[in-house]
Amino acid sequence: MESFLHKALATLIFSGLLVLLIILAAETPLWAGELPPRIPMEDFFRKPDMTGFQISPDGRHYSFLKPWKNRLNVYVKEIGSDEEAIRITSSKDRDIYSYGWLNDSRLVYFQDKGGDENSHAYAVDIDSTNFKDLTPFEGVKAMLEDVLEDDPDHILLTMNKRDPKVFDVYRANVNTGEMNIIAENPGNIAGWGTDHDGKLRLAITVDGLKETLLYRKTETDKFEPLITTDFTDSVSPAIFTADNKGLYVLSNLDRDKLALYLYDPEEKKFLDLIYENDEVDVGGIIWSRERKKLLGITYYTDRLHRHFFDRETEDFFSMLKAQFPDYSVGISSMSRDETKMIVYMASDRMPGRLYFYDRNQPGEFTLLTDLYPWLQEEWLTERRPITYKTRDGLTIHGYLTLPLGRDPKNLPVIVNPHGGPEARDRWGYDAEAQFLANRGIAVFNMNYRVSTGYGKKFWMAGFKEWGQKQQDDITDGVKWLISEGIADPERIAIYGASYGGYATLMGLIKTPELYACGIDYVGVTDLFTLFESIPPYWEILKERMYHTIGHPEKDGDMFRENSPVFHADKIKVPLFIAQGANDPRVVKKESDMMVEAMRKRGIEVQYMVKDNEGHGFRNQENQFDFYRTMEEFLTEHLKLQ
């Protein structure tokens, strides 16, 4: 459970500024009528030469991730210097994925062990000295709360060190590791929030199905409740106003879709409605720390869109669009004064190119890296938005990736429901979809009911519908593909991860006639076991899970009816299961039970377990092994040529 304000700021950086919404995708594939070359599997999933670029606060350096001994590590380079970049980390066991700048000369990164998700916070100087494990505690999960840009020597972290079930807030010295607890979680706080000065002034409590937004005027005051809602109603702080007195909040109170409001915490009342969209939720905000101003908002229909409140910002993004007219374009990192930045361009057929840009030198874009130069754009295919109707009249949005050079009729198809399940699929480059399409397979992604972003009613329509109406939405999509003549009814497979793995198993159980085979990747097999094995810090959300998924005792019959492990005998087609031994979310025991149940009945099942992985494979050699086995499995059972 990350801080809600931290997540809002992450939205600002990584979705609000990362992708420009104008995308000009070709209507007709460039390879129409001609097959593209067969691209090696490794080319889709191997690590980029450089990725994850970030600008230092003072704009003098940039950092990036680069493979070293087959693991992504952090490098730092001085901007404008001819000197080689310096590697400042030495991770040999696992990639570093999450990192950032603490101040002008020091960085932090987060890393777990073997996929157990108990991440430590490590700090290191830009010359690779003064390495420090800031959270050297076993079995403890550390997360970033606030970098404290105005205090270069400290950082705010949340940890479940005192109590595995809850996260307290600590102020840590980034040089020495010395830390003090500044807010103790009474047991019901699910998230914290800071103002622009790094002062801890917001919290959200969860009590059963009720959520309460707490506020205090200063850090010396006690938290007081502002508003209490049912968890299906949301009043989620996005950011404080520039003077730290008001709040911008995303709320769906008395409405279906999340909208952006101005809220007065002293008067405890909503003020202005800033922006609403009739089709979808408002997704996030675009904020300028330098100008202390709300610049715009983001929302997501088939693709990401923005609405601007600031003409200068709108003009700037228009300039980026003119510079890179055929791509989505945005900003992934900026210096403190917002003059130096990393500009990102990508599309559904191009994974990404990164440029350095200095606003003091308008029009000059310096290429930093092409993320996957070995993948030619003309060899890849479009991710096309689609919609279809369910049997009870809901409109489902999704995406279809068709193989190039093939008539879109009677194709082998992979049905690929997303994980979560309270998440959604998005437009953009998808390595799995491109890999499978290159093998001649169409890939079908759908945002079934309970997927987020489409409003409260659509989300709630999926409550207590695991294996039932959620599964029907997937089934109806498959039947739509068949009725459209796109799918060959004899060559359809279903594949998914986490909840998508669960949906894979339930698809094979409930509609065995639809599928030739299935691939379950770290998927839930037993709803009873799911509740028994949840991490301790999910306990606070257990009542909510009872409401959205079901209660193991009160809904025991439903759980048994919709837990794949009790219906293994109904699976008649080949199945491939992959599992991380250290998975804290879907424990190995679940997959073990499913495999045992199937093998007892003589059903063909391949089982891959990686001892150094968790909820999904991170290490490249394990990813290669998984996708290599996937290709062999699908080639055989979908009768690929």
Of 331, 350, 366, the domain-final residue? 331
| pLDDT one-digit tens code per residue, 282-311 | 999 999 999 999 999 999 999 999 999 999
Overall pTM surpassing 0.85 (yes/no) = yes
pLDDT of 567 above 60: yes
Residues 6 or more apart whose Cβ sits within 8 Å of residue 157:
121, 134, 135, 142, 143, 144, 145, 169, 170, 172, 179
Concatenate the DSSP letters of all residues of 268-331 into one string. Answer: TEEEEEEE--SSS-EEEEEEETTTTEEEEEEEESSSEEEEES-HHHHHHHHHHHHHSTTSEEEE
Report the chain's terminal Cα–Cα distance, integer Å: 45
428 contacts 348 by C-beta, under 8 angstroms: yes
Per the structure, the count of domains in the chain is: 3
Assigned domain for 365 exists: no
Same domain assignment for residues 26 and 66: no
| pLDDT one-digit tens code per residue, 576-623 | 999 999 888 888 988 998 899 888 888 889 999 999 998 989 999 999
Same domain assignment for residues 399 and 472: yes
**What is the spatial distance between Cα 351 and Cα 429, in angstroms, rounded to a whole number?**
6
| pLDDT one-digit tens code per residue, 212-267 | 999 999 999 999 999 999 999 999 999 999 999 999 999 999 999 999 999 999 99
Of 152, 168, 187, the domain-final residue? 187
Paired strand residues for 95: none
Same domain assignment for residues 609 and 469: yes
Instruction: Record the tokens describing residue 216, joined without a space.
Output: 């205090």
pLDDT at 159 (0 to 100): 96
Residues 6 or more apart whose Cβ sits within 8 Å of residue 398:
385, 386, 387, 388, 425, 444, 445, 446, 447, 477
Same domain assignment for residues 212 and 75: no
pLDDT of 7 above 70: no
**What is the spatial distance between Cα 542 and Cα 392, in angstroms, rounded to a whole number?**
30
Same domain assignment for residues 178 and 223: no
8 contacts 239 by C-beta, under 8 angstroms: yes
Assigned domain for 259 exists: yes
pLDDT of 358 above 50: yes
pLDDT of 362 above 70: yes
Same domain assignment for residues 30 and 101: no
Alpha-carbon torsion, ordered 124, 128, 132, 137, to 10 deg? 90
C-alpha distance from residue 598 to each of 299, 505, 523 (Å): 44, 12, 15
pLDDT of 499 above 60: yes
**What is the spatial distance between Cα 598 and Cα 563, in angstroms, rounded to a whole number?**
14
Same domain assignment for residues 174 and 247: no
Q: Report DSSP state, residue 16.
A: I
**What is the spatial distance between Cα 641 and Cα 635, in angstroms, rounded to a whole number?**
7
Same domain assignment for residues 395 and 326: no
Assigned domain for 340 exists: no
Concatenate the DSSP letters of all residues of 334-351 into one string. Answer: E-TTSSEEEEEEE-SS--
Alpha-carbon torsion, ordered 458, 460, 466, 469, to 10 deg? -50
Q: What angle do CA 549, 165, 207 make, to 5 degrees?
A: 55
Q: What is the torsional sign of CA 36, 428, 413, 573?
A: positive
The mean per-residue pLDDT over the stretch 111-139 comes to 93
Assigned domain for 433 exists: yes
| pLDDT one-digit tens code per residue, 378-425 | 999 999 999 999 999 999 999 999 999 999 999 999 999 999 999 999
Q: Strands 411-415 and 442-447: what pairing?
A: parallel
Q: How confident is the model at residue 338 (pLDDT cuts 50, 70, 90)?
A: very high
Catalytically active residues are 498, 583, 615
pLDDT at 600 (0 to 100): 86
Same domain assignment for residues 7 and 38: yes
Assigned domain for 74 exists: yes
pLDDT of 206 above 80: yes
**What is the spatial distance between Cα 284 and Cα 297, in angstroms, rounded to a whole number?**
6
The mean per-residue pLDDT over the stretch 69-83 comes to 94
Q: Report DSSP state, residue 161.
A: S
Q: Give the CATH number, domain containing residue 160.
A: 2.120.10.30
Type of residue found at 37: P
Q: Give the CATH number, domain containing residue 581.
A: 3.40.50.1820
Paired strand residues for 389: 395
**What is the spatial distance between Cα 551 and Cα 556, in angstroms, rounded to a whole number?**
7
Owning domain of residue 488: 381-637
Same domain assignment for residues 410 and 301: no
Assigned domain for 349 exists: no
SS3 84: coil
The mean per-residue pLDDT over the stretch 62-79 comes to 95
pLDDT at 114 (0 to 100): 87
Q: How confident is the model at residue 17 (pLDDT cuts 50, 70, 90)?
A: very low
**What is the spatial distance between Cα 365 and Cα 354, in angstroms, rounded to a whole number?**
9
